[in-house]
Amino acid sequence: MKKEYVMGNGAIALGALSAGVNLVTGYPGTPSSEILENIQKYSDGSVHIEWSVNEKSAMEVAASASYSGARTLVTMKQVGLNVASDPLMSLAYVGVKGGMVIVSADDPGPISSQTEQDTRMFAEFCRIPVFDPASPEEAFQMIQDAFIYSEKYKTPVLFRPTTRVCHAYASVEVPDSWRYREYEGFIKDSGKWVIFPRLSFLNHAMIEERNPKIGEDFSSYSMNSVQGSGRKAVFASGVSYAYAKECLQDHPEVRFCKIATPYPFPESFVLSALEGVEEVLCVEELSPYIENALLKLIGKHQLPVRVYGKLTGHIASSGENSTDSLRQVLGDFLGISMITEQMDLSDCPSLPVRPPVLCAGCPHRASFYAVKKAMEGRKSYFCGDIGCYTLGNAMPLDMVDTCLCMGAGVTMAQGFHWVDKEAVCFAFIGDSTFFASGMTGVVNALYNEADMILCVLDNSTTAMTGHQPHPGTGRNMMGDVVAKVSITKILEGMGVQKVLTVDPLKLQEAMDAVRECAALPGVKAIIFKSPCVAITKPQGTMKIAPSCVGCRKCIREIGCPAIVVKDGKVTIEEGLCTGCGLCSQICPVHAIGGVCHE
Amino acid sequence: MNKDILLCGVGGQGTVLASKLIASAAMRCGDPVHSAETIGMAQRGGSVISHIRIGERAASPLIPRGNADILIAFEPAEAVRNLSYLKKDGVVIVNSTPVKPTTEALQETGYDGTEMIAYLKKKADCVILDGEALLKKAGSARCFNMIVLGALAASGRLEIPTEILIEEMEHQMKPQFLELNKRAFHIGEEAGTDNEVK
């Protein structure tokens, strides 16, 4: 054994490898992305690892491997589980042979997500077990247990860490090496692996009979724990357990319970933890899951216990918990003061705001600007999507009118067309997102004859989640150089008549391409191709000549973080500038020079 | 040892590497360590925080408000933004050179960091580092994280021997950057000595 200081996502990866995982699939999404990357980092090459094209594909690739007896891990963020829900709902009925663990990382806050959905609710909806780790150390052990339960009950299981577990670091004791785990291979049996209404009916009954047994099994699972004693109890789960522990570590007079397996609810364990208890405070994030389960159990057994939590307004209904928020609530609940002395900062000066922005030199800025200038004076709708380019919404670009979910921009542009035929309807989508869920939307537009312009912002990477490769990059997670899947050929093959490729950093050419497409009916596509600045070497820096008249058009129009005002003069911040040259192409007096595309 | 250290700054300033070095040095001293980083959308030019928690008492990865022994700020406004984390008798090690927000060029507020430094001095013990001058002395724009580490070592508040911090640098950094970073560390040590003001 050796100690590794790892991120929670690293601990999950190491745990899965220790469990002998044979195949790992996933789609990037904060806060889950580093799990699969750590699998690759620590694996010896015997594990099949892939970034699948989206979460649904990841789930299905893992499903058949699992039917064959292989242990499989699927990773995604919580909204990715929505995409993968179709195969998962059915898979819950069919079941698996080799252990199959689906990590769906929740994001209370939300910090980098569209929703505050709760994977524990999803597990109950699917009727499959879910594990809820409270720390990286616990996650390392728990994911190994998850594989064992999955195989024992022949069901896929969910594993849901939250951001503060995924991105927390701790030292974890890990084995020096892993033994390759053999598996039986697929044994054909259409009565078992082919889902038909009859099989679903039978298996549904089996699942409903089985799940209370899993709840009983979980009642003796060591990660469900109770400490302390007394008439007042605190029930906590996930990282909220850690916050509550911080507050309660000197209070053995409180009964303190951790629920690590929210579904199926470990009823016997909870009933014994409730013995002699009169009041319970539930401390959890996202949905009041444990609170509802407790209320149900207390009602079923008609216990004289009062339950407080989100439903009673004691815990916030949205956002994260923290040690600070719990000190107040727990103090009130226990009738003691837990507030620590803090500085009086009521006279604090007003602070500058730092909204996230497109990086200096980001080619997306140039793409948005080209469309904006080309469409000046024409009614247009700009449908955005999920990725760095959502930041194109910020002033002064102001080029994202809508953003809903991955791939939605392509189809929403069509909806706008059908209700407003005067307008030119644009969809902006990244290269990775195009492969994940943009392609079907383009077919929809072609089939239904919508007028729209698809703008693929192709920066040759999945930038927002940490620069993962995708089908267009020519690299995969097994370290192989593979054929690049061509977005142009896909679009041409679908029947898009006009597919233009431009370098967005050549402003005039980019604007001409936009105008050309805007003059034509039907589906048109422009691929704005320029690599992400975070993975390429800067070409140099721009310089501002003394001939600058200080009109500040560069600042007003493109909002590049590398253009600043110092002592009243417009200046280039050399540490930030990448020499993209966009500013030099808009300066009315040609005062910006240096490395430039013209 | 039980110690909470909060590092803060603006995305891209190198807070993560500094936090990793402190955490691994503390582990070498035999203490349990927990830490947490800002990852994701907030990294793009936004405010970033690293929490480092050393010792058995830390149950969660995030430092509660009023609990940090040391606040290390790579930027003056970020120090003020996170000052509520500091203990009443805690110390602030702060870079006085401001990073203007990108919105500043569009909408000037005149932010230059001086008001922040004055406020910090009023509220806590401070070690103030003139980042711009010290970086010039070090001969690189990208090593403030090592300067601040040197100043932290010199403050005597860390309770981790300087040799262990240096050894961790040797252990974790690419050899071609080591000399520059060690020089920056020593510049920070010098700047940190006799700089503590109330």
CATH architecture of A225-334: 3-Layer(aba) Sandwich (3.40)
CA-to-CA separations, A43 to A46, A105, A145, B106, in angstroms, rounded: 7, 22, 20, 48
Contact A156, A66 (CB under 8 A): yes
Using the predicted structure, report yes or no on whether residue B93 has a pLDDT greater than 90.
yes
Q: Rounded CA gap, A282 and B48, in Å?
A: 31
Alpha helices in chain B (DSSP H): 15-28, 76-81, 103-106, 114-123, 131-138, 144-155, 162-172, 175-192
Interface test with B, best of A7, A111, A225, A354 (most B CBs within 10 A): A354
The answer to whether B172 faces chain A, any CB pair under 8 Å, is no
Query: How many Cα atoms are found within 13 Å in the side-chain-facing hemisphere of A347?
Result: 8
B93 contacts: CB under 8 Å, gap ≥ 6: B70, B71, B72, B73, B126, B127, B129, B148, B151, B152, B155, B192
Nearest CB among B61, B83, B101 relative to A345 is that of B83
Residue A458 in tokens? 């192709």
pLDDT reported for residue A372: 98
Per domain, the residue ranges of chain B are 3-197
CATH architecture of B3-197: 3-Layer(aba) Sandwich (3.40)
Percentage of residues of chain B with pLDDT beyond 90: 69
pLDDT digits (tens, 9 = 90+) for A106-143: 999 999 899 999 999 999 999 999 999 999 999 999 99
Residue B196 has pLDDT above 60, yes or no: no
Give CA–CA dist A403/A113, Å, rounded.
12
CB contact under 8 A, A354 and B44: no
Q: Which helix (H) or strand (E) holds A233?
A: strand A232-236
Instruction: Write down the pLDDT at residue B165.
Output: 94
Q: Nearest-CA residue of chain B relative to A169?
A: B35
Q: Find residue A457's DSSP bridge partners.
A: A430, A528
Mean pLDDT computed over B84-92: 95
With CA atoms as reference, the chain B residue closest to A324 would be B64
Tens digit of each residue's pLDDT, chain A (598 residues): 888 899 999 999 999 999 999 999 999 999 999 999 999 999 999 999 999 999 999 999 999 999 999 999 999 999 999 999 999 999 999 999 999 999 999 999 999 899 999 999 999 999 999 999 999 999 999 999 999 999 999 999 999 999 999 999 999 999 998 888 999 999 999 999 999 999 999 999 999 999 999 999 999 999 999 999 999 999 999 999 999 999 999 999 999 999 999 999 999 999 999 999 999 999 999 999 999 999 999 999 999 999 999 999 999 999 999 999 999 999 999 999 998 888 999 999 999 988 888 999 999 999 999 999 999 999 999 999 999 999 999 889 999 999 999 999 999 999 999 999 999 999 999 999 999 999 999 999 999 999 999 999 999 999 988 899 999 999 999 999 999 999 999 999 999 999 999 999 999 999 999 999 999 999 999 999 999 998 898 888 999 999 999 999 999 999 998 998 888 899 998 878 999 999 999 999 999 987 544 4
Domain ranges of chain A: 2-215, 225-334, 363-535, 542-594
Asked if the bond preceding A588 is cis, omega within 30° of 0, the reply is: no
Q: pLDDT band for B197, please (50, 70, 90 cuts).
A: low
| Residue keyed to tokens 């050309």 | A516
Both tokens of B152, joined, read 């932290």
Q: Is B105 a residue whose pLDDT tops 80?
A: no
Q: What is the CA radius of gyration of chain A?
A: 27
Tokens encoding A441:
């939307």
Q: Which of residues 369-398 of A touch B (CB under 8 A)?
A: 388, 391, 395-396
A170 CB neighbours in chain B (<8 A) are 33-34, 61
Quote the CA–CA distance of B46 and B77 in Å, as a whole number. Answer: 12
The predicted complex's ipTM stands at 0.92
CATH architecture designation of domain A2-215: 3-Layer(aba) Sandwich (3.40)
**pLDDT at residue A598 in the model:** 40
Q: Do B100 and A564 touch (CB under 8 A)?
A: yes
| B128 SS3 class | strand
**Other C-beta atoms within 10 Å of A32: how many?**
27
Burial class for A302, CB neighbours closer than 10 Å (0-12, 13-18, 19+): exposed
Cβ atoms of residues A417 and A451 within 8 Å: yes
B61 touches chain A (CB under 8 A): yes
Two tokens at A115?
């929703």
pLDDT of residue A597: 43
Token duo for residue A122: 């999803």
Those residues with Cβ within 8 angstroms of residue A214's Cβ, 6 or more apart along the chain or in another chain: A129, A149, A153, A264
Question: Residues 301 to 340 of A: which have CB under 8 A from any B CB?
Answer: 322-324, 327, 340
CATH 3.40.50.970 is the classification of domain A363-535: yes
| Nearest residue to A220 via CA among A270, A276, A147, A263 | A270
A568 in contact with B, Cβ within 8 Å: no
How high is the pLDDT of residue A200?
97
For the stretch A198-205, contacts whose Cβ atoms lie closer than 8 Å and that sit 24 or more positions apart, written own/partner, are A199/A93, A199/A94, A200/A93, A203/A93, A203/A94, A203/A95, A204/A93
Q: What is the pTM assigned to this prediction?
A: 0.95
The minimal CB distance from B67 to the residues A170, A249, A340 is found for A340
Tokens of A359: 């990086």
Which of A298, A289, A305 lies closest to A237, judged by CA?
A289
Output the six-digit token pair for A15: 């745990």
Report helix, strand or coil for A173: strand
Instruction: Say if domain A542-594 classifies as CATH 3.30.70.20.
Output: yes
Answer whether A5 sits within 8 Å of B65, measured CB to CB: no
Dist CA A365 CA A585 (whole Å) = 13
Does A2 lie at the interface with B, CB-CB under 8 angstroms?
no
pLDDT tens-digit profile of B158-168? Answer: 989 999 999 99
Residue in chain A closest to B124 (alpha carbons) equals A343
Instruction: Give the residue among A285, A59, A19 at the shortest CA–CA distance from A158.
Output: A59
